[in-house]
Amino acid sequence: MSDMKPNITVNVDVTNPGQFFACCGLLELADRLWPGAEGWFEDNRFYLGRIDEQAISVSELLGEVLSCSVESLPGPDKKTTPIHLGGRIGIQLNWWLRPNGTTNLFKIWPANATSQQMFCKWRDPLKAKMGTLTSNAEGMLTSSARIQGSYGFDSDLGWDELSVGFSFNEHTSLRKLPTRPAVELLGAIGLQRFFPMFKEKEQMVEYATWCVRLSAPVARIAALGGLPVVSMHRLRTRFVYRGSFKGLDRATIM
């Protein structure tokens, strides 16, 4: 921990699992670009800073996500194979797989899409938003684009026909919901190190926020609730099924 000032401030609703994991993804990226970077939650915001107190460039941070190579790694099923993000990120993503190689509940994308395609589909929409995000980093996690499909951890996407009052089949233009490219991409990166407490049989997920400045390796422990002295909130959510939507519900504070 340190007394450094934050370089980036992002508005966050921590009861939305997607926004929480996206903040974890920001910390993961910052740690890989500037080792020792620290992040913390406070007053509905996530703060990020470099340990040397040099400025963090939002365009540089997100630019790495846009420019890194995305390579499918060998696996028994090419649709769900792990992927490797190259460049300065240098991370392997496989959080949707159990140790035996079968998929867990976090794999929600359609059978006709590969893990590589799911990650790459968000890069053009994010690139289109870069001008806005560079000048307004605080709104990064609410900037949206209409794209079909989602990783399922953004709980705001859990629409169903009963709640909106009509059938989506009658309004095909609404099948592309206002998804958030930054939440999808950053959440996909954050889930790798910050995979939560997961009770798959009960379809339940638990995670925790922290209120002091922590580096990524230590924050990983805090996110699991392993550092109660620094915990801000412990939260619990579960997988829900609403029509064609499958994903995480809004979390409740325990």
- What percent of the chain has a predicted confidence (pLDDT) above 90? 68
pLDDT digits 0-9 by tens, 42-59: 989 999 999 887 888 888
pLDDT digits 0-9 by tens, 210-248: 999 999 999 999 999 999 989 899 999 999 987 666 899
**CA atoms of 150 and 144, how far apart (whole Å):** 12
**CA atoms of 14 and 219, how far apart (whole Å):** 15
Residues with Cβ < 8 Å from 137, sequence gap 6 or more?
A: 8, 9, 10, 58
Average pLDDT over residues 90-104: 95
Q: Identify any residues that bridge with 247 across adjacent strands, giving them in sequence order.
A: 240
Residue 251: DSSP 8-state: P
- Quick check: helix, strand or coil at residue 153? coil
**CA atoms of 244 and 214, how far apart (whole Å):** 38
Q: What is the pLDDT of residue 162?
A: 37
Q: Considering Cα of 133, then 45, then 47, then 208, what sign does the dihedral take?
A: negative
**CA atoms of 142 and 239, how far apart (whole Å):** 22
Has residue 166 got a pLDDT over 50?
Answer: no
Q: Identify any residues that bridge with 197 across adjacent strands, giving them in sequence order.
A: 206
Mean pLDDT of the chain: 88
Q: Report the phi/psi class of residue 87: left, alpha or beta, with left for phi > 0 and alpha for psi in -120 to 50.
A: left
Residue 164: which pLDDT band, with cuts at 50, 70 and 90?
A: very low
Q: Are 45 and 12 in contact (CB under 8 A)?
A: yes
Has residue 2 got a pLDDT over 90?
Answer: no
**CA atoms of 10 and 240, how far apart (whole Å):** 27
User: If you search the block for the tokens 């926020």, which residue do you land on?
Assistant: 209
Residue 221: DSSP 8-state: H
More confident residue, 5 or 155: 155
Angle (CA) 159-224-77 rounded to 5° is: 65
User: If you search the block for the tokens 């490797």, which residue do you land on?
Assistant: 84
Average pLDDT over residues 162-176: 40
Has residue 63 got a pLDDT over 50?
Answer: yes
Q: What is the pLDDT of residue 211?
A: 95
State the pTM of this model: 0.90
